[in-house]
Chain A
Amino acid sequence: MPQTIIRAERVEKYYAQPSENRIQVIAPTDLSVCEGEILALLGPSGSGKSTLLRMLTGLSAPSAGQVFWHDKPIAMCEPNVSIVFQSFALFPWLTVLENVEAPLKARGMNDAEQRTRGLKILDAVGLDGFQTAYPKELSGGMRQRVGFARALVVEPEVLFMDEPFSALDVLTAENLRSELLELWQKKTMPTKAIFLVTHNIEEAVLLADRIVVLGRNPGVVRTDFKVALAHPRDRKSEPFTQLVDYIYKVLTQPGERPPALPSGPVNRPAAEARPAHYQELPHARPGGIAGLLELLIDHQGKDDIYRLADDLAFEIDDLLPIVDAAQLLGFATVNEGDAEITPAGAAYANSEILRQKELFRKAAVDNVLLLRQIVRAIDAKSDGSVPEEFFHDLLDEQFTEEVTLRQLETAISWGRYAELFDFDASRHRFIRPERLHSDGIEETGPQVEDPDAETEE
């Protein structure tokens, strides 16, 4: 039974609002990091994976729950961990060697020994000869190597990595991934476990022995399973693609129990069904949605989301919002990891520009709560203008500031495209649009059809 090094017990992260509301970033979660495994924490942006990483390393304290390091509360000990950062986090004014020596200096090692250890680890990551270079002279891949060297020079028990390869180009990332695996398998480092946070599904399946998938809003573990594939893993092999497909299924079916694993070991019980949420507007542009629908038509109206992602070389964060938006507008449905276009979606994709706007307008007003609210508010005022701040405060109750701003941005872009309203950027107000053309089907002014009200003609 492998030993548990770090254990998180019902950890939560929330921000209390002055109005008694809570913005829950991470729902009560249990997670353990065990010896001898590479654990990948996978999830779309906003699922709180970086926050979870910071709670597990002791960098930030959970709002509730406890984290244990070797069964001692983490706040009372100094866990032997280090972090490799997405943006490398190197000090630009220190040389490579000085950057690597800095943690040793903090631990009170003498200068001579710092130098020996630093040079040794630089050699291990392949940067021999670069010790007097400054980070700005190095390429991205080399900078991340310095990041690795700095993290490994202290011989951490658990190595944490926060999206370490996402700032690198594809080939360099590939290269570094295989070097990381090599270092791990040859046991050249005394590290007992690796904790990798990523939003790249293929990377997780390629590297990890165990994958934990986080859902978003709030962050909660959707599934936690072991990957039994042997190294080296082949991206094109059947078991590999099955696992990737499975993960897409899990991610595109929020609110339901995750489907069964394709094969292999038992997965841990999934989280309880989440309560219904205030609708969140996915961050996607009308152009992107149209593009996705056209692609689906091209693929005979239905395709595997996994395959779509592969075709477009998109990652979860790029594709899922568009898929979510298309689903929200009723232009596509998602079932078991497959996206299928609906008749409304087909009509939208095949129409010309003005008709497209009209269909989009109808779909947006019918399905998107925020847009409906904005249009109603504009109609209710005699001067036809509403301050943005009103909706900002409304959303602020449910979402973090960043998500609120993003939703407003998306709402403005959709509203302008659909000619539902206009936005005066200098005064920060939503205003009634000026109709430049009449299309004989709708009259001037946006028509807000209340889905609950009886239709009258």
Chain B
Amino acid sequence: MNPLHRVVNYERGPDTLASSRVLRRTWPVVMDLCVGAIGLAIFYAIVRIGMLWAGPASEQMVVSLSPRALPLYAFYSIVRIFMAYVLSLVFAVSYGYLAAYNTHAESFMIAALDILQSIPVLSFLPPVMLAMVALFPTRHFGVELGAILLLFTGAVWNMAFSFYSSLKSIPRELREAAEINRFSPLQRLVQLELPYAAIGLVWNSVMSVAGAWFTLMACEMFHFGSKDFRLPGLGSYLQTAADQNDGRAIAWGLVSMIAIIVAIDQVIWRPLILWSDKFKFEQVESSKRMSSPILHLLTNSKALAAIARRTTEPFNEAIYIKLARWRKQHIAQLATHPETHTSSAGRVLPWVLALAGCIATLYAAEHAIALVRPVTRVQYLELLRGAAATFLRVNLSLVLAAAWTIPVGVAIGSRPRLARLAQPLAQIAASVPATALFPVLLLALIKLGGGMGLGSIALMLLGTQWYILFNVIAGAMAIPTDLKEVATIFRFSRIERWKTVILPGIFPFLITGMVTASGGAWNASIFAEYFTLKGRTLTTLGLGEQINAATANGEFPIILLGTILISLMVVTTNRLLWRRLYRLAETRYKLEG
């Protein structure tokens, strides 16, 4: 299987890249306002908690730089990712299931998902950590919880959307086959819904976990001068190593980071992806066969099969027999008492919950506005200035990234052999979280005499250019050869070739890459604009810097406003710019009919 399918599974279409999906919803404005209000409410709740409990001094955490401590730190980091992932998976499946089968809640749930997907998670890092630390005097647990919460928030929405859209696109006849054969909801979930959604879930898991690493590294490094929110892990190791200018420790840290990423890729993702091929819905056997020794081991192991036979199979059988018996009883009851199914409690409860939710939202929204009132006009203007600066920075990094990745990507994509060499490398480069490298990068930059301005753009580039690169490679590979031959036969000039064949051909892929990159850059801005190294705090003008500074000074209204502003900007850019471009890509620039 073409590893580029990891990012652009163009056979399956856009539903594996949930973050760039164009959604058609009813009443968009009303929905967004509702969701916005609720988001405001939740955020206010978090900040309020922080305010109430702000204050306890936290001890400085000591990070050992000896290589022997590395496996332990790596283990901590992996455990955090794993816990957050499992939580996200369970929640995502439940959320997607509820949204797909509950017509009342559906439009609202999808509207919420849409917005939550775009919000840069890292922008919540300072306030969430503050709140968590204040909530749990035992500092360590609070910060761990905060980290997992942030990881969860970043990972869950694209998986939820993938599951939801898989459920919605199950072919009608498969559903009817399940219904006419009296499948219980459990059997339908296990034999129809989960398998159908498997491929989308696997790809989105890969993306979610990659994003989780990015966020986790940032979380582990997080500290202001006085407040230390760091967690023992790979991120803090690298950051401490850079801080103390320990070259050997830096090297060890980088090597183990890359080793872990590669290991996860080979041991977990590759077998999973190959196994998920089984769930491909198209009825044609794919000609390329790649192998994974681990998958081979698991599927052909006699011991595992024996265990399954003794334990899971009889268990399954018992469940299904029981479910069938319940169904028969239910039908028999229906024949004798043909009355309505839902009890009165079942019908009233959702409305009660909705009403309670509305009241809570209004209360919190009102108080949030009260919290923000003391902000002066000067401060507002400052925030807007910061927003403009970050906006320019994000787009500059996008332009720079596109400027080098488009020519390189097209060059690679046009030469299949080169592509085959470059793909695994690009893969690894993309999976290494840029946030882990940031301290090292900053160190080098400082030595060379540069400042944070350059550093922030460098970080954004590092984190996001790979997405654009292999999307462009995939796009270049997808341009049909006959179009290229037309350009050759009619002797198109280089400019014409690019204008008529290449750029339109890669356009959909380019947009997909740019959308992901843009989201990533905004996400990184919190981290990239304010960093403490060797006791000095390096900053550059921007929203991220302002939020961080406000957190350091405990200025909660600014934190609230800053975070709202950043989320608003991302969502608006998505709506106004990327959606339109994506729609254009899907209609005018789509290659098949």
Tell me if B173 and A89 are in contact (CB < 8 A).
yes
Given contacts A91-B192, A105-B187, 7 further A-B contacts (CB under 8 A): A76-B338, A89-B174, A92-B281, A102-B181, A106-B184, A106-B320, A150-B181
B59 within 8 A of A: no
User: What 7 A-B pairs are tightest by C-beta distance, nearest first?
Assistant: A108-B324, A103-B181, A89-B173, A89-B177, A108-B321, A93-B195, A106-B182
Tell me if B176 and A72 are in contact (CB < 8 A).
no
> With A and B bound together, what is the CA distance between A275 and B192 in angstroms?
44
In the complex, per-residue mask of A83-95: 1 if CB is within 8 Å of any chain B CB, else 0: 1011101011110
Tell me if B334 and A76 are in contact (CB < 8 A).
yes
Of the A-B pairs whose beta carbons lie under 8 Å apart in the complex, a sample of 24, sorted by A's number, is A59-B180, A82-B180, A83-B176, A85-B177, A91-B191, A91-B192, A92-B280, A92-B281, A92-B283, A93-B198, A94-B191, A102-B187, A102-B191, A105-B320, A106-B181, A106-B187, A106-B320, A106-B324, A107-B182, A111-B313, A111-B317, A134-B278, A136-B283, A136-B285
> With A and B bound together, what is the CA distance between A103 and B180 in angstroms?
9
Tell me if A59 and B331 are in contact (CB < 8 A).
no
> With A and B bound together, what is the CA distance between A27 and B86 in angstroms?
52
> With A and B bound together, what is the CA distance between A86 and B173 in angstroms?
9
Q: How far is the CB of A163 from chain B (nearest CB, A)?
A: 11
Within 8 Å by CB of B181, from A54, A82, A134, A135, lies A82
Interface size on A, residues (CB 8 A): 35
Interface of A toward B, CB cutoff 8 Å: 54, 57, 59, 72, 75-78, 81-83, 85-87, 89, 91-94, 102-103, 105-111, 134-137, 150, 154, 426
Chain B residues near A87 (CB, 8 Å)? 171, 173
Closest to B338 in A: A76
Chain B residues near A94 (CB, 8 Å)? 191
The A-B contact count (CB < 8 A) is 84
> With A and B bound together, what is the CA distance between A106 and B180 in angstroms?
10
In the complex, per-residue mask of B577-593: 1 if CB is within 8 Å of any chain A CB, else 0: 00000000001100000
Tell me if B180 and A93 are in contact (CB < 8 A).
no
Closest to A156 in B: B180
B183 within 8 A of A: yes
Within 8 Å by CB of A108, from B174, B285, B325, B338, lies B325
Tell me if B284 and A136 are in contact (CB < 8 A).
yes
B496 within 8 A of A: no
Within 8 Å by CB of B331, from A77, A91, A105, lies A77
Within 8 Å by CB of A110, from B192, B317, B325, lies B317
> With A and B bound together, what is the CA distance between A89 and B173 in angstroms?
6
Chain B residues near A105 (CB, 8 Å)? 187, 320
Tell me if A426 and B588 are in contact (CB < 8 A).
yes
Given that A78-B331, A86-B173, A105-B187 are contacting pairs, would A57 and B320 also be in contact in the complex, using a CB cutoff of 8 Å? Answer: no
Chain A residues near B322 (CB, 8 Å)? 108
Which B residues between 296 and 328 are near A, CB-CB below 8 angstroms? 313, 317, 320-325, 328
B425 within 8 A of A: no
Interface of B toward A, CB cutoff 8 Å: 171, 173-174, 176-177, 179-184, 187, 191-192, 195, 198, 278-281, 283-285, 313, 317, 320-325, 328, 331, 334-335, 338, 587-588
Tell me if A76 and B176 are in contact (CB < 8 A).
no
Chain B residues near A91 (CB, 8 Å)? 174, 191-192, 195
> With A and B bound together, what is the CA distance between A77 and B335 in angstroms?
6
Closest to B279 in A: A93
Within 8 Å by CB of A59, from B176, B317, B335, lies B176
Closest to B587 in A: A426
Q: How far is the CB of B179 from chain A (nearest CB, A)?
A: 6
Closest to B322 in A: A108
Chain A residues near B587 (CB, 8 Å)? 426
Given that A82-B181, A137-B285 are contacting pairs, would A72 and B323 also be in contact in the complex, using a CB cutoff of 8 Å? Answer: no
Chain B residues near A54 (CB, 8 Å)? 176
Chain A residues near B334 (CB, 8 Å)? 76
Chain B residues near A81 (CB, 8 Å)? 180
Given that A77-B331, A92-B279, A135-B283 are contacting pairs, would A108 and B180 also be in contact in the complex, using a CB cutoff of 8 Å? Answer: no
Q: How far is the CB of B562 from chain A (nearest CB, A)?
A: 40
Tell me if B180 and A57 are in contact (CB < 8 A).
yes
Closest to B188 in A: A106
Tell me if A85 and B173 are in contact (CB < 8 A).
yes
Q: How far is the CB of B314 from chain A (nearest CB, A)?
A: 8
Given that A91-B192, A106-B187 are contacting pairs, would A83 and B177 also be in contact in the complex, using a CB cutoff of 8 Å? Answer: yes
Instruction: Identify which of B176, B279, B328 gathers the most chain A CB atoms within 10 Å of its CB.
Output: B176
Q: How far is the CB of B37 from chain A (nearest CB, A)?
A: 29
Q: How far is the CB of B467 from chain A (nearest CB, A)?
A: 29
Q: How far is the CB of A439 from chain B (nearest CB, A)?
A: 33
